[in-house]
Each structure stands twice: as C-alpha cells, then as structure tokens.
Amino acid sequence: MFEKYKKDGKVVILVSYGFGAGWSTWNSENPAQLAMDKRLVEAKLKGVDEEEIEVILKDMGLEDTYTGGWDQVEIEWLYEGTAFEINEYDGAESLRKITSISDFTIA
C-alpha cells in the first residue's frame, strides 16, 4: 500500500491531460499508486523532470514504469472519499468524478 498526499480533507490525483502518453493509464501494473502516491505528488510539486522521476520510481521499486506522460502531469484535488476514474484516449487522460451508480464504466 502507498501513502496518499492529503491536505484540508482533500487528496491529490495526478493526471496527464496532454495527448501523447498517459501517466497512470499507460502503466497497468500500479495505476492507482502512480495517480496518487505522496512521493510522486511531492516530486511534481518540486518540479522534478522525467529523468529525476525515473530515479524516484526505481527507489520505489517501480523501475519498469513508463514515464513518457510525466511532463504533462497536472495536480487535481478531490475531496477524500470521492470516487473517480481516469480514462485515456490517444495518450490524453481525463479525470471523471463518479457521483452515482450510473456513472460507472464497466470494462
């Protein structure tokens, strides 16, 4: 399990909106961790580049993670407990809050 970045009743989600490569969606091994891990959020807040994030991921035991979407990652804040999903189309991720049972996507 990993620690989430929390503040004032909210949690950070990392989302790569630009076309080209998804951040968490292109990494099927640990997508939730890549989207929410406190160490990655802190790295983004510090402005860590793709080369540096590879070192951090290796230290986390995630050395096989594709990092192509890192440069386009943005920080989103959601209230703790908010259900959400990150979708991807052509490398561009989108964040969608789930507010009712009809919002769920069955894959």
81 dihedral zone (left: phi>0; alpha: psi -120 to 50; beta): left
List, for residues 19-51, the tens digit of each pLDDT value: 988 999 998 788 999 999 999 999 999 999 999
Q: Token pair 């009712």 is at which residue?
A: 100
pLDDT at 44: 97
Predicted TM-score (pTM) of the model is 0.88
Which pair of tokens denotes residue 34? 């890549």
List, for residues 67-101, the tens digit of each pLDDT value: 989 999 999 999 999 999 999 999 899 999 998 66
- The answer to whether residues 26 and 72 touch, using CB atoms and an 8 Å cutoff, is no
Nearest-angstrom CA–CA distance, 84 and 105: 11
List, for residues 48-65, the tens digit of each pLDDT value: 999 999 999 999 999 889
